[in-house]
Structures are given as C-alpha cells and as structure tokens.
Amino acid sequence: MILKILKSKKILVCGLILLPVTLVLFYLALDNPIGLIFNLTLFLAAITITMVFLLLSAKCFSSKKVLIKSLGILPALLFIIFLVVYLAIIVDHRILYYQGIPPNPTKAEWVEDVNYLADKMREIHPSLYTLVSENKFTNTIKEIESKISDLSESQTIMELFRLIAVPNDAHCFPFIFFPCFDLHGYPLQIYGFEDGWFVVDAANRYEHLIGTEIIKIDTTSMNEIFQLFQPYIATENNTGKLERFTYLVLMPEWLESQDIIEEMDEAPLTFEKSDGELITQMISSTPFLNSFYWSSIRKIENESPAYLSNPRDLKYWFKIIEPGNTLYIQFNQVENQSGHETISQFADRITQFIKMNKIDKTVIDIRNNDGGNDLLLEDLTAAIRDSEQINQQGKLFVLIGRRTFSSAVIFANQLQLQTKAIFMGEPTGQGPIFFGNPNLVRLPNSGLVFSVSTTSTERTQATWPFIVKNEISPDISVLFSSKDFVNGTDPVLAAALNYKLETLSYSEIPDSVLDYYSGRYIISDVQVMDIGNNGNSLSFRITDFIPQNRFEIRSGLYAVNERMFNTDISNVKFLFPPHNNQKVQSVTINWSGKEYSYKRAPEDYKLALELFEEDRFSDAIQIILDNKTEYQNQFSSLENILNGIGYNYLREKKILSAIEIFRLNVTLYPESFNVYDSYGEALMVNGDMDAAINNYRKSIEINPANDNAIKVLKKLGAKI
C-alpha cells in the first residue's frame, strides 16, 4: 500500500510543486532563524525535501528499465543523507561538527583540557609573560583545577574563557563561532551608547523592545554586570570592552556562572521606554549559533553606518555624498574580496576616479573594519597619502570606533603618521602595537577551540618612544546617544561633513633659515629622520627602511615661529635650537608632552637596511655585525626581518644578494633552525647542492621536526 502511494504520479507532482514553495518559505524565515515559525518552516522544508527524494527513488525503482532503476540509488542516498543531517541538527547540531556523538569529558579530562590550553598558550604566544606574570598565570590554572569538581559543564567552559583572557590579549579568545561550543544567547542586539545600553535590534517576538534601555538582568544592574565581565573576554582598552561586552552579557551560561540568573532557558530583563516606563519581560534563550547567525546576516534598520552589524556586502566601496562633493570610502575588511576587485585594484580605481572628478573632501570610514591581512594595505595607504586632492589639511577625515580592530588599526596608524587626516569618532578597539596572527587550538577531550596569538606587530617595528600601544584616539571625539540611533543620525559622519578648517596663520621663514634645519637626524641605530626643504616649507620622514614596514612617519612642518613648527599629526611639534647662521646640530620632538632630542647625522650617513636597498651589501652587513647587540635589541625579531628581505631578493632572482642576507642571519642566529633552512634554499637555487644539503641537515639537527628540510633532503636523495 505504501509503495503504491509512493509510486503515484500525483503525489510526486504535488511534492515537486510543494518543494519550491517550502524552500521559499524557509529562505524568508532565514532572516529570523529563531522561534516557532522558523522551526516549523525548517521542519516543513526538511519533510518536503526528504519526501521528494523518497518519491523520486520509489518512482525510479518501480521502472522496468534497468538504467532508470539504477538511477534510483541517487535520490535514495540523498534521502538518507538529508534525513541523517536533519535528525542530527534536531538532536544536537554538534554531531555534524564532531562527526559523531559530542564528547562528554570527565572532570579529570576537563583538568587535562585546562592544562593543554595553558601549555599551548605558553608554547604559541610570542611573549605571554610580558602580558601576565608567570605567577598569576600559574595561580589561575591551579584555581580553575581546584574548582572543576564542583562545576557544571557550562561553568567549566566559562573558566576556560577566564584562562584564555588572563593575558588580556584581544586576539586570544574562545572561538565561540564554532559549533563545538554548545552555548546559548538571547535574540537581542545591544549597543553601549553614552547614555546607556540600548536594544538596537531584536527577533520578531521582541521587536517592541527596540529602542529601549536595558536596566538590569534579573536583579543585577547593567553597570554591575559590566564590571563582572571583564576577566572573561580579553580587551585592551575601554572601547574594546564596550564592543566585546555585547557577546557575553547575552550569554545565559556566563550569566548563570555569575549567579545573575537562576535558569538558562529564560530570564527576566527590565527595560526602560523613552517615556520612562519600566517593563520586565521574560526573554527566552536560543542556541548561540542561531542567535549569532541571526545577528550576522541582519542589517540593523538604521541608515547610519555607525550601527551596522552587517555592512554592505562589499568589503570596500566608495561613492560621492551630496551636497558637498565628498568622496566617502567605506573600508570594512582588510581582505581581497572573491569575485571583485582586489584592495590594490580598489586603490587604483580611487586614484583614477579623483583624476576625472573634483572632490572637496574625503571621508574614510573604518568603524566596522575588524581587520584581516595588513600586507594588503600598502597600495591603499599610498593612494591616499600621495594624492594631492585627497591628502589636504582640513579635507581628509578618518572615522574610527570600537569595532576598528587588528589590521584596521594598523591602517589607521599608517594614515595618522603619514597623512593630514583628522580622526573622528571614538578610540579604536586596540592600539597599533598588538599580538595577532592567531592559531586555533583544539582541546583534546572537549574539542573546544580557542584562538591564541602567534606574533606581535612589533616584529617589524623598531623601538619608538612615542607610540601609544593600546588605542588610537580621535582628534575630535564624537559620541553616540540613543537619540542618534532612534533618529537614524550619524553624528560622526555629520561632524566630518560639516567640519570647517580653522584658518591658521603660520610664519613665513626664509629659505636660508630652513636650510639650516634641513638634513638627516639619527633617531636610533636603526631609524633615521630626513628633513627636507621644499621651497618655503619643510617636511620630514622617519623610517627604518624595512620592506613593507608598519613604521613610517611623514608630515609637513608649519612654522609657528622661526624655531617652533607644528605638524600634520595632532599634538606633535618640532623645536629647533638657535641656528646662528649655520646648520643646527639637533632637533627636539614634542609628542603629546613627551620630548626627545635627536642629533644631526654625519655627512653621507646611511642605515644598514638603507644600504641593502642600494645593493651595498658588504657595508650593510659590516654595520650590522659591528652593532649586533644594538640591532638585536632595537628589533624584537631581526631574524624575521632579514629573512623577509632575503626572500624578497630570491623572488626578484637576485640570488647572490639573497645568499648574503641568509648567511648574515646564520651568523646572527646560529641556534635558529629556520635560518639554516632559508640559507639552504638559496644555495640550492644557486646550484650549490653540497652546501645546501649541509645547511638543511644543520636545520634538522636543531629541529628534528622541520618537515620542510626533511622533504627537501629526500627529494635531493641525501641522507638525513
């Protein structure tokens, strides 16, 4: 009877008609993947799809033709696969991630996971104990171990949150976006305005709460909760705390671990409406992946880019804003976008556009940019810095905020140090000196995944006394209020569009006097400053000549009087000594109140890395060898810098130059396996196989796990 029904053409036709209908309904429900309607449409779509596969399979199997009968295997397999996947999602979505039953660690296994994470942090992090004392880190581990026997699974996970946050490195965090975490969330989006925490978006059933202020969760005020959260999610400054608090405050597992709520299924939240009325409502929790997916795909219904949780589909784009003929550039991620122009091509398009069009101002909005690959920034930075139309005083603005993070902060730092940009908004989510390039660590028993930093941005930056490490502050602070959100206004963008440059009168200094100031000054053993006379004006550049370096400063100098000069960088001034009609021998830089004096360099003074650019290898290498200690102290990772320069030469087919660089690295770092590996590669490219084999062997002697050297030696037929 069942088989007869399955063979019915009418049933199959109905199924095929119903399939697109249910898929459309499911697609529409994706905008709000929370609650009864979504679950019903998911169920209906699953049933329809499985039934169509089953009907197609039955129809094929009932055919008398062998070929058609054999084709029935495919829909039968699809039916089984889809049914298994759907049942796995219903039972526990983690089954798909783990490809089996999710682990249920014992207390002892949880302790193992704690120690495994701690060991990986010690092993992977480039400088763990500069961020947290070894004693504090060890005591935190012992404290967590002692508590685990009395904790639930979710409470134990929160203790792992606390462990990864101990160094307060914002790139070290639980990778809660992976389905290995069986966490939950309340389907609300909140934002910390200057006047409180407000709901800026909500799932359908809670839409009436949009625009209200959250006063408390159960009986605990939001201010109290904000103080409790900080040890659990790493942040490097106050605006970073405002951003990351929104992830944790709506997580029932964390709230329960802090005794803020009693039940994780639902909790009473108290809201205040615009008229002052207080309302308390029970908010039901949903699986975290559902709520995270919902918050990721939805755009907050507010035209202001200040609040966009999901900026435009394009990672970078520009348009002209009228009136005012302002070029508005929104840069949302430092990654080349698949299927679209690269960041370099985007920079070229901006350059071509401004050649063909007159613009009055330029606004670069990176408030929603959470980083990416900083090596992709060079062309975009140069396009902005080198454009006379864009890089003008009072006409170039960079909008920054709490979501400006990682490589976006490096971009902001480059614009701050190399252009005339005026920064507006609130401080960035971290500073330009940070640890990053994280590796994912999967715990052996629970399978939970955590992110741990592997490098520091200091690795290619010499010591510089003026850099503020934990944030880039705006020149003009513009804060948001809940009224801005309700009214759909963007006060930061408005401030940039309405900015009027205050007319400043600078002194005109004779060229002959400016010549007394121009020349080269020694910043450090590895940094130099060139002050140039451009004809009635001065400009300066500080660099260390490292390829693709993050450290370079360029600015004009504007005479307040004959000896004092302002710069394009806020709160930075230059003071020259009396010239006495001859070249001055020093200059003093005042950077936000801190003063340092630098001496004039001797004639023909060159840095070692500058000499590399001029192919004066012998002179450069001798300088580094003569000042080995100073170079190694100034650069925290001189080995990586030289290695990078060597590979640049290797790519450019300058093989002998690369060999000289790699040989220098072997001399400086004889205990590093990697320098022998690189040296061996250059020698092999040059055809010196015996020397290459010896260096690869030396690399393996230092590090037996160097798979690359092992593979190369095997390929060369050499004994390992």
- pLDDT one-digit tens code per residue, 657-685: 899 999 999 999 999 999 999 999 999 99
User: What pLDDT is attached to residue 2?
Assistant: 45
Report how far residue 329's alpha carbon sits from residue 58's, in angstroms, rounded to the nearest whole number. 57
90 vs 597 pLDDT, higher one: 597
Whether the predicted pLDDT of 60 surpasses 80: no
Among 13-17, 73-77, 405-409, 617-621, the minimum mean pLDDT is found in: 13-17
CATH number at residue 646: 1.25.40.10
pLDDT in tens, 484-521: 988 888 999 999 999 998 776 788 899 999 999 999 99
Residues of the domain holding 590: 511-599
Angle 237-270-31 from CA coordinates, rounded to 5°: 75
- Tell me the mean pLDDT in the region 304-330: 78
Residues 408 and 541 in one domain: no
CA-closest candidate to residue 44, choices 28, 60, 56, 57? 28
486 domain-assigned = yes
What residues contact 259, with CB distance under 8 A and at least 6 apart? none
User: What pLDDT is attached to residue 31?
Assistant: 58
Residues 657 and 559 in one domain: no
679 domain-assigned = yes
pLDDT in tens, 135-175: 999 999 999 999 999 999 999 999 999 999 999 999 999 99
Residues 367 and 239 in one domain: no
CATH number at residue 276: 2.30.42.10
Residues 488 and 416 in one domain: yes
pLDDT in tens, 563-577: 999 999 888 999 999
700 domain-assigned = yes
138 domain-assigned = no
114 domain-assigned = no
Number of structural domains found in the chain? 5
Neighbours of 415 (CB within 10 A): 24
CA-closest candidate to residue 317, choices 309, 307, 305? 305
Residues 592 and 656 in one domain: no
The confidence band for 636, taking pLDDT boundaries of 50, 70 and 90, is: low
CATH number at residue 400: 3.90.226.10
161 domain-assigned = no
Domain stops at, among 46, 75, 92? 92
CATH number at residue 578: 2.40.128
Residues 73 and 16 in one domain: yes
Mean pLDDT taken over the chain? 86
User: What pLDDT is attached to residue 72?
Assistant: 73
Residues 478 and 522 in one domain: no
Whether the predicted pLDDT of 221 surpasses 90: yes
166 domain-assigned = no
Residues 402 and 545 in one domain: no
Max avg pLDDT among 145-159, 524-538, 627-641: 145-159
67 domain-assigned = yes
- Tell me the mean pLDDT in the region 697-709: 89
Say if residues 185 and 285 touch (Cβ distance below 8 Å).
Answer: yes
- Tell me the mean pLDDT in the region 359-367: 95
Domain stops at, among 49, 75, 92? 92
Residues 406 and 341 in one domain: yes
Helices 153-165 + 107-124 axis angle, to 10: 20
- Tell me the mean pLDDT in the region 57-78: 76
* Helix segments in 449-547, DSSP class H: 482-487, 491-497, 511-517
What residues contact 116, with CB distance under 8 A and at least 6 apart? 441, 443, 444
Report how far residue 21's alpha carbon sits from residue 42's, in angstroms, rounded to the nearest whole number. 12
Residues 276 and 387 in one domain: no
CA-closest candidate to residue 242, choices 428, 453, 492? 428
Residues 528 and 410 in one domain: no
The confidence band for 286, taking pLDDT boundaries of 50, 70 and 90, is: confident
Among 112-121, 322-331, 502-511, the minimum mean pLDDT is found in: 502-511
Report how far residue 263's alpha carbon sits from residue 567's, in angstroms, rounded to the nearest whole number. 58
The confidence band for 427, taking pLDDT boundaries of 50, 70 and 90, is: very high
Residues 476 and 518 in one domain: no
Report how far residue 504's alpha carbon sits from residue 700's, in angstroms, rounded to the nearest whole number. 64
pLDDT in tens, 604-633: 898 888 888 888 888 888 888 888 887 777
Domain stops at, among 92, 112, 128? 92
The confidence band for 130, taking pLDDT boundaries of 50, 70 and 90, is: confident
Backbone angles phi, psi at 509, to 5 degrees: -105, 130
The confidence band for 556, taking pLDDT boundaries of 50, 70 and 90, is: very high
Whether the predicted pLDDT of 463 surpasses 60: no
